[in-house]
Structures are given as C-alpha cells and as structure tokens.
C-alpha cells in the first residue's frame, strides 16, 4: 500500500463527502471510538485507511440487504439492473 494513502488524514466532512453520507453517520462512530479520531490543527481528522477498514467490516457477506426500517431482507441481484457483477 502507498505510504501516503495509508496515513492520509482527512476531515470528518471530507470523509462524509467521499462516502456520500451525512455527519449523522460518521459522528457517532468517532464519539464511540469505533472510528479513531486525531487532533491535527484546528479540525479533528480521521485516517482514510481507518474509514475504509470500518467500511469493509460492514460488507454483507451473504449479499443480503435490509429492505428498510420495517425489517425483512431480500437477495441483492446486481444483474437485475442490467449489470453483471464484477
């Protein structure tokens, strides 16, 4: 792995932007310590490697996804959208 990428520290808003999520997703992870945070200068930062490690831990091995807040699961079929899985 490229050393620069391994130690790339980014702001929390930048992590949110890269992941396409709001701060309501990242802030609780930082506050609970699940996602380590570093004080560098004025703004707290997170390691992009730590963010990607956290994201990888959330991968669904069964390829089943929740249908939403009402429960239940459905099998994810990427071919259903006109794309074959890579």
Instruction: Tell me the per-residue pLDDT of 20-67, one tens digit each, with 9 for 90 and over.
Output: 999 999 999 999 999 999 998 888 999 999 999 999 988 876 556 666
For residue 55, tell me if it sits in a domain: yes
Reference 42, options 64, 13, 79, 71; nearest CA is 13
For residue 66, tell me if it sits in a domain: no
Query: What does the radius of gyration of the chain's CA atoms come to, in whole angstroms?
Result: 16
What per-residue confidence (pLDDT) applies to 34?
A: 93
For residue 82, tell me if it sits in a domain: no
For residue 19, tell me if it sits in a domain: yes
For residue 75, tell me if it sits in a domain: no
CA distances from 31 to 8, 20, 25, 52, 63 (A): 20, 20, 11, 18, 29
CA 15, 67, 53: angle at the middle one, nearest 5?
Answer: 30
Instruction: Look up the pTM and report it.
Output: 0.62
What per-residue confidence (pLDDT) applies to 31?
A: 94
For residue 80, tell me if it sits in a domain: no
Residue 41: give the domain boundaries: 3-60
For residue 42, tell me if it sits in a domain: yes
For residue 47, tell me if it sits in a domain: yes
The number of folded domains in the chain is 1
């Amino acid at each position: 792995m490229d050393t620069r990428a391994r130690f790339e520290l980014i702001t929390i808003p930048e992590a949110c932007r890269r992941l396409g999520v709001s701060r309501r997703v990242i802030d609780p992870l930082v506050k609970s310590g699940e996602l380590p945070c570093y004080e560098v200068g004025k703004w707290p930062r997170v390691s992009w490697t730590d963010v990607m490690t956290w994201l990888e831990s959330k991968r669904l091995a069964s390829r089943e996804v929740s249908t939403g807040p009402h429960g239940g699961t459905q099998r994810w079929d990427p071919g259903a959208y006109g794309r074959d899985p890579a």
